[in-house]
Amino acid sequence: MEIGIIGAGVAGMAAAIRLASRGHSVTVFEADALPGGKLSEIATGGYRFDAGPSLFTMPQYIEELFEVAGVDMAPIFQYEKLPVVCNYFWEDGGRLTAWADTARFMLEIEQKLHVPGSVLKKALFDSKRKYFATGRIFLEKSLHRLDTWLSADVAKALVQIPVLDLFTTMNRVNERILQHPKLVQLFNRYATYNGSNPYKAPGLLTIIPHFEYGFGAWLPKGGMISITKALYELASLKGVEFRLNTPVDEILVQDRRAVGVRVGEKPFYFDRVISNMDVFFTYKKLLPGQKEPKRVLRQQKSSSALIFYWGIRGSFPELDVHNIFFSDDYRTEFEILEYGSIFSDPTVYINLTSRYCPEDAPEGCENWFTMINAPFNNGQDWDDLIAKARVNILAKLTRILGTDIEPLIECETILDPRGIEQRTFSHLGALYGTSSNDRMAAFFRHANFSKDISGLYFCGGSVHPGGGIPLALLSGKIVDGMI
């Protein structure tokens, strides 16, 4: 078959690799000059930053693509497991290292929080149990096809509904299992992995820690951009044709069937069309006159991000690749976020790849990807919000690290929700499409296929199963399976 894919994001390239490996002829249209979508990079002043996703978990989905393609991964893509998942800092001077080794992490909380290590073990077991009860089923298959629901695996999962915490919140589950407010806050932060609020998101989202502690946190050699480069190279080896700098203007539909795409005045005809573009813009820009799934498009958007890419003159040995500086009032932070603003005491995340990739910063310096959660773009005065947030972030980091940070900044690039929408066509700058602040949110995400237009499929973070690199890769796998 001839297959056209709109967008060379992670999901689009994953689908292309799988389909080309089956012998289909695949053409990918990308509006940008480079592939990767959100998974890009910034180079300035001698520093290199991964511009988008900074966490790499579940590498088996990358490995699977190379296996499907029959290509040796080693010469193209390498990665290493991080001994530290994340370092955590609090205003009261509390610090915690989340070791990848569970026994060592248990000892850490016993010594620093005076909480039995068994509490951590119980939380991680609960996360693992939920993953194996539901994850392999609902993350790797469509929720919108009858054959999924008629499978024996789903029947087994439905029996376990009482222990899946569908009818309570993530925060309440963590309060029930964990015995210390710092541990509750630590595990609540996993709601941000899909742009949600832990005080509203369903308890089933406590499945997320297993992605890190069950499968590990990893760092690709060369940084996260290496994922983009590897997928692009692998797809090219399998004969995928990439048309970069080529924005699609319309998906061609005849007799309720997708038959191709239009670029300018030129049509390209295909047997199947896949959109890796945000589903909102797919309908609004590429399907004029076609019926829109209004209920899906009206859903609450996920959070966005405000990112400062700082080249820092100096070294902070207490930092690792992933670092979190927590707010003193986490609940209020999320409430303010939902009001469309930024809390004066935001939780700050710093990603620091130069710790393992020294070429990412000049000698004796560090590349700080400094991020806070931000609301999606709804016409706020972003210049004012950014200026205030910058002051608050620097003050917080200076207090906790005991060093005046601002004089150490050698270069700065800023990315806010407006820029995220402009650069990646993410509607309103929402990083994960719709939020998961409802227990039925997973079922309300757009399906990986169109119910009204045959031959039209969807992949990427705005559709099932959701945002983030592993789920984007899985959306490509789901579409491949359907075709």
Model pLDDT, residue 292 = 84
- Closest by CA to 431, choosing from 441, 443, 416, is 416
E-strand ranges in 330-388 read 348-351, 365-374
Instruction: Using the predicted structure, report yes or no on whether residue 194 has a pLDDT greater than 90.
Output: no
- In DSSP terms, which residues pair with 434 in a beta bridge? 301
150 pLDDT more than 70: no
DSSP bridge pairs for 202: 169
Tell me: the pLDDT tens digits for 357-410? 999 999 999 999 999 999 999 999 999 999 999 999 999 999 999 999 999 999
CA angle 473, 54, 343 (to 5 degrees): 115
DSSP string, 113-173: T---HHHHHHHHHHHHHHIIIIIHHHTTS-SSSHHHHTSHHHHHHHHTGGGTTTTSBHHHH
Which residue in this structure is represented by tokens 């630590």? 186
Identify the residue whose tokens are 């589950």. Answer: 173
Residue 262 has pLDDT above 70, yes or no: yes
- Is the pLDDT score of 437 beyond 70? no
pLDDT of 482 strictly over 70: yes
Contacts 24+ apart (CB under 8 A), 245-248: 245/30, 245/31, 245/32, 245/33, 246/29, 246/30, 246/31, 247/29, 247/31, 248/6, 248/29, 248/31, 248/277, 248/286
pLDDT above 70 coverage of the chain, percent: 92
Mean pLDDT along residues 225-242: 98
Q: Which of 466, 475, 468, 478 is nearest to 217 (CA)?
A: 468
Per-residue pLDDT band at 300 (split at 50, 70, 90): confident
Q: How far, in Å, CA of 465 to CA of 423, rounded? A: 23
Q: What is the DSSP string of 13-65?
A: HHHHHHHHHTT-EEEEE-SSSSSBTT--EEEETTEEEE-S---EE-THHHHHH
* CA distance readout (Å), 356 to 48, 53, 87, 223, 352: 13, 17, 15, 9, 8
Residue pair 121/191 in contact (Cβ under 8 Å)? The answer is no
Strand order in the sheet with 25-29: 241-243, 25-29, 2-6, 272-275, 456-458
Does residue 292 or residue 154 have the better pLDDT? 292
pLDDT digits (tens, 9 = 90+) for 309-341: 999 999 999 999 999 999 999 999 999 998 999
Residue of 175, 4, 185 lying closest to 96 (CA atoms): 185
Average pLDDT in the 103-128 region? 96
pLDDT of residue 435: 67
- Of 135-139, 216-220, 245-249, 461-465, give the lowest mean pLDDT range: 135-139
Nearest 5°: the CA angle 203, 206, 211 is 155
Half-sphere exposure (Cβ direction) of 483: Cα atoms closer than 13 Å: 32
| Banded model confidence at residue 156, pLDDT cuts 50, 70, 90 | low
pLDDT band at residue 146 using 50, 70 and 90 as cut-offs: low
Look at residue 442 and tell me whether its pLDDT is greater than 70: no
Go through the chain and tell me how many residues it has: 483
Q: Which domains does the chain have, with CATH numbers?
A: 2-39+221-300+446-482 (3.50.50.60), 101-215 (no CATH)
Q: How far apart are CA 195 and CA 301, in angstroms?
A: 8
pLDDT of residue 167: 85
